[in-house]
Amino acid sequence: MKNEVQLITYADRLSGGTLQDLRALLNGPLAGVFGAVHILPFFYSIHGADAGFDPIDHTRVDPALGDWSDIKALAQDMDVMADVIVNHMSSDSPQFIDYSKRGAASPYNGLFLTFDAVFPEGATEEDLISVYRPRPGLPFTCMTLANGEKKILWTTFTPKQLDIDVQHPQGRSYLESILQALASSGVKMIRLDAVGYAIKKQGDSCFLMPETFDFIDEFAALCRSVGLEVLVEVHSYYRKQIEIAKRVDWVYDFALPPLVLHAFFFKTGKHLKQWIAQRPTNALTVLDTHDGIGIIDIGADPSDRVNRPGLVPPQELDRLVEIIHINSGGQSREATGAAASNLDLYQVNCTFYDAMGRDDTAYLLARAIQFFMPGIPQVYYVGLLAGRNDMDLLERTRVGRDINRHRYASAEVDSALGRPVVQQLLELIRLRNAHPAFDGAFSVEPTGDSCLHMRWINGPVVAELLVDFTDLRHELLFTDEGGTRRIAFAKAF
């Protein structure tokens, strides 16, 4: 993976609607800005229950976007990352339609995880209570198949997203077919979506169990065998992220977004610096994604038998969430928790720009902190354009995360690219990509809790960032053989 900033985007929500449009944008107004692009699910169909994360056919590009030749063309320009939705597929898939009609006679019998496959003798109340739930309700749906049979199927996320039995030969064959389709089309990196839920076991949480880690090990090895680097997507307590990082190529640093917000809201870098000292460095850094802002990632793990603390005290977590709601004028509250359907219990739905109160200086400093963190930075398309909450889309869909999934018309993109905050962000991205200091050694220099001083040194070249969270004064310096370049957003030292 190149040590350059990557873009995260839907193919149809940034560039006009197709993969060719996206390629034109990346080779036109955004030429040279990104080293790679993570295209969020572009499989058939992108119009399902979860914006493409419930594929009907995971081996087919949605015709509304283009076809595999468009992916190949884009992969010739830059590295491409794609998703493998490991845990589930759509109830409208041809595999499930066949199974629904033919039952045990279907060649796909065994592909979909049934209740009795995990609980052959039935489940006790304790069994059901033990299952970790990211969303309200039980992870099962009782269905009447087309042939009249009644089945209880695992549906971890929604009734339209049917869990796959990844340990069954049919499940393994299905996942292998996806890897082959991606690798043969020039995709270089894959993101394992919802893999933490892939293995189910009676009497356990069915989330990030030892058996889950074993599956991740095996599947990651299979991915590498066809030339794919592996990024694992798991929202969980930070100690589990550290453990996962030891076993895969890349993980997300999901603790970073709430810790950055905490630093600005509480005017202290104490907890952020504590995280920097222990975080994995084989991480993709993000401030925003297509999901909400994770809170669970910096809290205490209630299942920890020795009751070790989280990265941030519980009362400050509650206050952090409340400040996001205040900064967004209450909009994030309308999109979070029980206020919106298709929800995640441990995420706040809001654009990062709105979460920071639309303060350009604070927002750009947050991005600078992200870019200075060891790892590979990713910027979500809404964050790239310093986008605001899409309340119209939220009102239409009542899906909380849609508040941060705006569909940009081409004219909107052109207008946003002319905003000073976006132009300065693009300048930061180009510096992060090109400056040789970021290939050197990283350090956090001693300061008081109210400040953060990050430095990269590579021989004679240096990049450093000093932020005072009390008043947003800052120094951002890039030194090379030609001298020192100073970047200032406002309130500089």
Looking at residue 59, its pLDDT comes to 98
Whether the pLDDT of residue 344 is over 60: the answer is: no
pLDDT digits (tens, 9 = 90+) for 13-22: 998 889 999 9
Per the CATH hierarchy, to which homologous superfamily does domain 94-162 belong?
A: Oligo-1,6-glucosidase; Domain 2 (3.90.400.10)
Cα–Cα distance between 325 and 350 in angstroms, integer?
A: 9
The CATH number of the domain covering residues in 6-85+169-439: 3.20.20.80
Looking at residue 349, its pLDDT comes to 96
Instruction: Name the DSSP class of 223.
Output: H
Whether the pLDDT of residue 341 is over 70: the answer is: no
What residues act catalytically? 193, 233
Highest mean pLDDT among 310-324, 333-347, 365-379: 365-379
Looking at residue 484, its pLDDT comes to 93
Asked if residue 45 has a cis previous peptide bond (ω within 30° of 0), the answer is yes
Whether the pLDDT of residue 125 is over 70: the answer is: yes
User: What is the DSSP secondary-structure string of 79-108?
Assistant: EEEEEEE-SEEETTSHHHHHHHHHGGGSTT
Mean residue pLDDT across the chain: 95
Looking at residue 346, its pLDDT comes to 76
pLDDT digits (tens, 9 = 90+) for 160-204: 999 999 999 999 999 999 999 999 999 999 999 999 999 999 999
Tally of CA atoms within 13 A in the half-sphere of 194 that contains its CB: 25
Whether the pLDDT of residue 492 is over 80: the answer is: no
Whether the pLDDT of residue 466 is over 90: the answer is: yes
Helix axes 210-225, 169-183, angle to 10 degrees: 40
Q: Distances from the Cα of 74 to the Cαs of 21, 30, 84, in angstroms?
A: 11, 14, 18
The dihedral through the CA atoms of 47, 174, 104, 131 has a sign that is: negative
Q: 344 among the known binding-site residues?
A: yes
| 482 — pLDDT class (breaks 50, 70, 90) | confident
What predicted TM-score, i.e. pTM, was given to this entire model?
0.96
Cα–Cα distance between 464 and 455 in angstroms, integer?
A: 4
Q: Distances from the Cα of 26 to the Cαs of 29, 40, 182, 421, in angstroms?
A: 7, 15, 21, 19
Q: Residue 442: how many CB atoms within 10 A of its CB?
A: 17
**What values do phi and psi take at 36, rounded to 5?**
-160, 165
Q: 204 among the known binding-site residues?
A: no
Q: 191 among the known binding-site residues?
A: yes
pLDDT digits (tens, 9 = 90+) for 205-232: 999 999 999 999 999 999 999 999 999 9
Cα–Cα distance between 391 and 334 in angstroms, integer?
A: 9
Looking at residue 342, its pLDDT comes to 39
Percent of the chain at pLDDT above 70? 98
Q: 102 among the known binding-site residues?
A: no
* 241, 422 contact by CB (below 8 A): no
pLDDT digits (tens, 9 = 90+) for 422-460: 999 999 999 999 999 999 999 999 999 999 999 999 999
Q: 50 among the known binding-site residues?
A: yes
Whether the pLDDT of residue 260 is over 90: the answer is: yes
